[in-house]
Amino acid sequence: MYQYDKYDQGMVDARVEEFRDQVRRRIAGDINDDQFKPLRLKNGLYLQLHAYMLRVAIPYGTFNSVQMRKLADIARKYDRGYGHFTTRQNIQYNWIKLEEAPDILAELATVEMHAIQTSGESIRNISADQYAGAAADEICDPRPWAELIRQATTFHPEFSYLPRKFKIAVISAPEDRAALRWHDCALRIVRNGKGEEGFEVYAGGGMGRTPFIAYKIRDFLPAQQIFSYLQAILRVWNLHARRDNIHKQRMKILVHELGEEEFRRQVEEEFQTFLALATDFPQAEYDRIAAYFTPPPFETGLGDEIDRSDPDFALWVDRQVVAHKVPGYAIANISLKPIGGIPGDISAEQMDIVADLAERYSFDEIRATHAQNLVLPHVRKADLYAVWQALDAAGLASVNLDLVTDIIACPGLDYCSLANARSIPLAQKISERFANMERQLDIGELKIKISGCINACGHHHAGQIGILGVDRKGTENYQLLLGGSGAEDTSQAKITGPGFDEAGIVDAVERTVERYRELREPGERFLDTYRRVGLDPFKEAIYG
C-alpha cells in the first residue's frame, strides 16, 4: 500500500500544527464558533450530542496493522475504548475533547494518517472498492488513481470553500461494491478499444434530502486527464451553485436544474481550459504511486481446498469468504454486525486482534467497507480456519454478509446532533428479530439501511429496505422504504406509506420479509421480487 514520502509527511505534519494554532485561536477567543466550525470540520471534528466527534480518514478504505493499532491506542487514550466505522470507509470517535484533538492528529500523523477533509464543504475522502487489488472481477487496482486524486484534491486552493461537500468514488469492476452512482462524482476504470485505461465518469449523485442517482457524463476519459476533468466539474459547480440555501447547494441540485446536457456542455468547455493549463499529474507520478500497489508476494502452487469439517467454520466460509484473483487465496469479510450489536462499532481490543490477523495472514492489509464491515483481503485458504478461530474468540465471526442482519445504520439520535430519531436501537431489534441463522439464509440477500434523519448517512435511499427516522411532534417515528440499491443496479427506494413507532417498524419489516417469501420465485432476491411485483403487494402486507 501507499507510503508517505517526506512531502506527504510534511503536509500532514503542517496540518497538525495549523489545527493546533486554530484551536488555540478559538480557545483564546480570536475567532468565534461560526468562524471556527468550518476549520474544525475540515479536520473531521464535529460537535455532537455528548462531546466532540473526530472522523479519521482511511483513504479508499485501505490501512495496515500499525495504523489499526494506533486507532486502538487512540480509542483507549483519548476516547472510551471503541471506534465506529462509517459508511465512507472512515472511522470516528465519539468522546473527543477539543483541547486534545491536535494531539490526536499528531499521533495519527506518526502512522501516516489524518482527518483532512473528512467533513465540511470540501472534497471528502476518496472511497473505493474494498476488494481493490484482490477482487477476481476487477480490471486493475483502482487505488493508485484514488491516491493520485487524493493528493490532487488535498488543500486544493480553488476548491476548499465549496458550496457543499463533494464525494468521489473509484472502482474498476463490473460489480459495484462502493455505491458508485450515489456519489457527486463517480469513476469506473474501463479500457477502450485500444486497451488504454480511462474513466467512465458519472456526476450529480447523492443522497440527503433530495436524492439523485448520478448520470453518466463521459463514456471514456483518458486516465491521464482526470485531474483536469475533476477541476472542470468542480469549477462549474463552484461558480454556479446556489449559495443562499444550504439544502440546495450540493452539485446534484445544479446538475438537475441545468439538465444533463447543459451541465455536460459546461464541463467539457471548462475541461478545455484546464487541459491547456497542463495541471494534470504526469505518467511518471502515476507510475510512482502505482509501484506502491504492486501485488504482495503471493505464493504460487497453493491448493484451493478448505477443510470444512467444522460446521460453524463452514457456515462462515460460505458467507463471509469471497473469491480472490490469485489461486489459493481468499478475501475474508469480518462482520461488525453481531446480533443485537451496534453496526460498525469495534472495541480497541478487537482492533488489536484484527491488526494481528492482518499482519500475520493478510500481507498486513485491512479494508474498511461502506457497509461498516472490515475485510482481510489476501488470506491463504489454508489459513482461513486459524483466522476464523481468532475472530470467533473475539466476537468477530458473525455470519451475515449482505443478509438481513448486516444492517447499515448511522449513529442516529444516540450520538448525532442532526438526528431526529435513534437508528441503532432499531438495527439491534431487527437483528434480534431475525437472529435465526437458517431463517437469515433462507431470506438471502437483503440490505437494510437505517438513517436517523434526512441527511441519509445510513443510506436509506439505497436500502433494499430503507428506514428513515423522523421527528413527529417530539416523538421518534420511522418511515419504511423499499426497492433501493447501491450496487450496479442502482435504484432509489420508495416510501411505502405512513410511518411507524419503534415496535411498529420492526413488525413492518418482518411483514415485508414474509410477503417476499410468499411471492418469490426460485432464485429471486428480495430486490428481484420487489422489482417484478412492485410496491402494492408489500403495502398490502404492511398496512393490511
Partner 1 sequence: MRILTGNDLKSGAVIWWTGHDWSLHVEDAVDVGEHGEAVLAAEDGARRVNGGYIVDAEATPEGPRPAHIKDRIRALGPTVRPDLTLKPADPTAGDWVI
Partner 2 sequence: MADFRYRDDQPHEEPAVTLDAFLEQPDATAVRLEAGEDARRLIPFLDRLQLIEISFPRFRDGRGFSSARILREAGYKGELRAEGDVLIDLLFFMRRCGFDSFVSQHSLNPADVEAALNRYSHVYQNATDEAVPIWKLRHG
Q: Are 193 and 153 in contact (CB under 8 A)?
A: no
**Residue 29 makes contact with partner 1 by CB under 8 A:** yes
State the binding string over 386-415 for partner 1 (x if CB under 8 A, else -). ---------------------------xxx
Cα–Cα distance for residue pair 490/4, rounded to 1 Å? 36
Shortest spacing between CB 492 and partner 1, in angstroms: 28
Residues 215-244 that bind partner 2 (CB under 8 A): 227, 235, 238-239, 243
Shortest spacing between CB 415 and partner 1, in angstroms: 6
Shortest spacing between CB 298 and partner 2, in angstroms: 29
Shortest spacing between CB 98 and partner 1, in angstroms: 5
Cα–Cα distance for residue pair 172/140, rounded to 1 Å? 6
Considering only 342, 353, 355, 408, the residue that binds partner 1 (CB under 8 A) is 342
**Residue 284 makes contact with partner 2 by CB under 8 A:** yes
Residues 126-145 that bind partner 2 (CB under 8 A): none
Q: Which stretch binds partner 2 (CB under 8 A): 79-87, 129-137, 278-286, 472-480?
A: 278-286
**Residue 472 makes contact with partner 1 by CB under 8 A:** no
Shortest spacing between CB 275 and partner 1, in angstroms: 45
State the binding string over 23-62 for partner 2 (x if CB under 8 A, else -). --x----xx---x--xx-----------------------
Question: What does 97 bind: partner 1, partner 2, none (CB cut-off 5 to 8 Å by kind)?
Answer: partner 1
Would you say 46 or 145 has its CB closer to partner 1? 46
State the binding string over 88-127 for partner 1 (x if CB under 8 A, else -). ------xxxxxx----------------------------
Shortest spacing between CB 74 and partner 1, in angstroms: 16
Q: Are 317 and 332 in contact (CB under 8 A)?
A: no
Question: What does 210 bind: partner 2, partner 1, none (CB cut-off 5 to 8 Å by kind)?
Answer: none
**Residue 257 makes contact with partner 2 by CB under 8 A:** no
**Residue 159 makes contact with partner 2 by CB under 8 A:** yes
Q: How many residues bind partner 1 (CB under 8 A)?
A: 29
| Neighbouring C-beta atoms of residue 187, cutoff 10 Å | 29
Among candidate residues 488, 458, 487, the one with its CA nearest the CA of residue 86: 458
Query: Cβ neighbours of residue 375 under 8 Å, at least 6 residues apart?
Result: 130, 131, 331, 332, 333, 334, 366, 367, 368, 369
Which neighbouring-strand residues pair with 300? none
**Residue 439 makes contact with partner 2 by CB under 8 A:** no
**Angstrom distances, CA of residue 107 to CA of 1, 52, 70, 211:** 20, 18, 8, 37
Considering only 26, 69, 84, 264, the residue that binds partner 1 (CB under 8 A) is 26
Shortest spacing between CB 207 and partner 1, in angstroms: 22
Considering only 17, 196, 262, 304, the residue that binds partner 2 (CB under 8 A) is 17
Q: Are 153 and 160 in contact (CB under 8 A)?
A: no
DSSP calls for 403-425: STT--EE--GGGT-SS-SS-SHH
Q: Are 437 and 399 in contact (CB under 8 A)?
A: yes
Q: Which residue has the cell 493499532?
A: 69
State the binding string over 123-162 for partner 1 (x if CB under 8 A, else -). ----------------------------------------
- How far from each other are the two terminal CA atoms of the chain, in whole angstroms? 54
Query: Cβ neighbours of residue 69 under 8 Å, at least 6 residues apart?
Result: 351, 352, 355
List the Cα angle 150/59/292 in 5-degree steps.
80
Distance of CA 513 to the CA centre of its chain: 26
Question: What does 413 bind: partner 1, partner 2, none (CB cut-off 5 to 8 Å by kind)?
Answer: partner 1
- Alpha helix locations (H) across 407-501? 424-433, 437-443
Which neighbouring-strand residues pair with 322? 331
Residue type, 135: A
Q: In what order do the strands lie in the sheet with 197-203?
A: 127-128, 168-171, 185-191, 197-203, 215-222
Distance of CA 251 to the CA centre of its chain: 19
Query: Cβ neighbours of residue 203 under 8 Å, at least 6 residues apart?
Result: 184, 185, 186, 214, 215, 217, 233, 251, 255, 263, 267
Question: What does 47 bind: partner 1, partner 2, none (CB cut-off 5 to 8 Å by kind)?
Answer: partner 1
Residues 73-132 that bind partner 2 (CB under 8 A): 121
Question: What does 475 bind: partner 1, partner 2, none (CB cut-off 5 to 8 Å by kind)?
Answer: partner 1
**Residue 161 makes contact with partner 2 by CB under 8 A:** yes
Query: Cβ neighbours of residue 429 under 8 Å, at least 6 residues apart?
Result: 502, 506
Q: Which stretch binds partner 2 (CB under 8 A): 4-12, 110-118, 300-308, 320-328?
A: 4-12
Query: Cβ neighbours of residue 397 under 8 Å, at least 6 residues apart?
Result: 316, 335, 388, 391
Residues 53-72 that bind partner 1 (CB under 8 A): none
Would you say 39 or 401 has its CB closer to partner 2? 39
**Residue 47 makes contact with partner 1 by CB under 8 A:** yes
Considering only 301, 474, 523, 544, the residue that binds partner 1 (CB under 8 A) is 474
In the numeric block, which cell numbers belong to residue 11? 503536509
3-state SS record for 144-181: HHHHHHHHHCCCCCCCCCCCCCECEEEECCCCCCCCHH
Would you say 39 or 169 has its CB closer to partner 2? 39
- Which parts of this chain interact with partner 2 (CB under 8 A)? 5, 7-8, 10-11, 14, 17-18, 21-22, 25, 30-31, 35, 38-39, 121, 151-152, 154-163, 227, 235, 238-239, 243, 273, 277-279, 281-282, 284-285, 288
- Which parts of this chain interact with partner 1 (CB under 8 A)? 26-27, 29, 33, 47-52, 80, 94-99, 342, 413-415, 419, 422, 424-425, 428, 474-476
